[in-house]
Chains A and B, each alone.
Chain A
Amino acid sequence: MTETLPALVQRATELSRDWRLSSVRAWKQRTGALAIGYLPVYVPREVFHAQGVLPVGLTGAGDDLEIIKGDAFYQSYICHLPRSTIELGLNGSLDCLDGIVFPATCDVIRNLSGVWRMQFPSKMSRYLDVPQDFDRAMGGVFYRHELEDIAREIHERGGRKLEAEALRASIRVYNENRTLVRELLTLRREAPWKLPTAELYVVLRAGLVLPVEEHSAMLRRYRDLAQADAERRPRDQARVVLTGSFCEQPPLGLIKTLERAGCYIVDDDFVPVLHWLRGDVCTEGDPLANLVTAFLEDSIDSPVRYCGDGTKGQELVQRVDESKAEGVLFCAPSFCDPALLDQPMAQAALDGRAIPWTSFKYSENTGQFHVIREQAGTFADSIKLWSEA
Chain B
Amino acid sequence: MSVSTKNPPLAATAKDDSQVRQKQMIAAHYARLARASESGEKNVYTFVPGNLTELLRSFDLLPVLPEINALQSGMRGKSAEYIALAEKLGHSEDVCTYVKCDIGMLKSGNVGPTGERLPSPDLLLLSYTGCFTFMKWFELLKQEYQCPVVMLHVPYQAEGRITDSMRAYVTAQIRQKLIPALEQVAGRKYDEDRLKECLARSAQAEEDLVWVLQSAKNRPSPIDAWFGAVYYVGPIFSAFRGTPEAVEYYRALRVEIQERLTKKLGPVTPDGMMTEEKYRLVIEGPPNWTSFREFWRMFAEEGAVAVASTYTKVGGMYDFGFRHDPERPLETMAEYCMGCYTNLDLSTRVGILTRYMQEYEADGLLVNSVKSCNSFSAGQLAMLREVESRTGRPVGFIESDLVDPRYFSASNIKNRLESFLQMIAQKRGGAA
Q: Which residues of A contact B (CB under 8 A)?
A: 72-75, 77-78, 82, 104, 106-108, 110-115, 117-119, 126-127, 129, 131-133, 135, 137-139, 141-142, 145-146, 303-304, 306-310, 312, 334-338, 340-345, 347-348, 361
Contact of B90 among A72, A303, A310, A344 (CB under 8 A): A344
Query: Does B369 lie within 8 Å of A340, measured CB to CB?
Result: no
Residues on the A chain within 8 Å of B383, using CB: 118
- Residues 268-293 of B at the A interface (beta carbon under 8 Å): none
Is B382 part of the binding interface, using a Cβ–Cβ cutoff of 8 Å?
yes
Residues on the A chain within 8 Å of B374, using CB: 78, 106-108, 111, 337
Q: How far is the CB of B153 from chain A (nearest CB, A)?
A: 4
Counting residue pairs across A and B whose Cβ atoms lie within 8 Å, the total is 165
- Given A127-B156, A141-B168, A303-B136, answer yes or no on A343-B90 (Cβ-Cβ < 8 Å): yes
Q: Which residues of B contact A (CB under 8 A)?
A: 89-92, 94-96, 99, 126, 128, 131-133, 135-140, 142-143, 149, 151, 153, 155-156, 158-159, 163, 165-166, 168-169, 172-173, 176-177, 345-347, 349-350, 369, 371, 374-375, 377-383, 386, 399
Residues on the B chain within 8 Å of A117, using CB: 345-347
Q: How far is the CA of A135 from the CA of B169 in the complex (A)?
A: 11
Q: How far is the CA of A310 from the CA of B124 in the complex (A)?
A: 12
Q: How far is the CB of B310 from chain A (nearest CB, A)?
A: 14
- Contacts A/B (CB < 8 Å), 13 sampled: A72-B381, A77-B94, A78-B377, A107-B132, A110-B132, A111-B379, A127-B159, A129-B156, A133-B151, A306-B151, A308-B151, A341-B95, A342-B136
Residues on the B chain within 8 Å of A348, using CB: 143
Q: How far is the CA of A348 from the CA of B172 in the complex (A)?
A: 35
B contact patch SS? helix
From A102, which residue of chain B is reached at the shortest CB distance? B158
Q: A107-B131, A312-B139 are in contact. List 4 more A-B contacts (CB 8 A).
A: A119-B382, A133-B177, A135-B177, A361-B94
Q: Which 3 pairs from chain A and chain B are nearest by CB? A: A114-B346, A127-B158, A341-B136
Query: Does A343 lie within 8 Å of B92, measured CB to CB?
Result: yes
- Given A74-B381, A129-B158, A138-B172, answer yes or no on A307-B139 (Cβ-Cβ < 8 Å): yes
Q: How far is the CB of B149 from chain A (nearest CB, A)?
A: 5
Query: Does A344 lie within 8 Å of B371, measured CB to CB?
Result: no
Residues on the B chain within 8 Å of A142, using CB: 155, 165-166, 168-169
Q: How far is the CB of A146 from chain B (nearest CB, A)?
A: 8
- Given A142-B155, A342-B136, answer yes or no on A75-B369 (Cβ-Cβ < 8 Å): yes
Residues on the B chain within 8 Å of A306, using CB: 126, 128, 135, 139, 151, 153
Q: How far is the CA of A75 from the CA of B381 in the complex (A)?
A: 8
Query: Does A111 lie within 8 Å of B169, measured CB to CB?
Result: no
Residues on the A chain within 8 Å of B375, using CB: 107, 111
Q: How far is the CB of B230 from chain A (nearest CB, A)?
A: 22
Query: Does B168 lie within 8 Å of A132, measured CB to CB?
Result: no
Q: How far is the CA of A209 from the CA of B128 in the complex (A)?
A: 33
Query: Does A107 lie within 8 Å of B133, measured CB to CB?
Result: yes
Contact of B95 among A118, A312, A337 (CB under 8 A): A337
Residues on the A chain within 8 Å of B156, using CB: 104, 110, 127, 129
Q: How far is the CB of B430 from chain A (nearest CB, A)?
A: 25
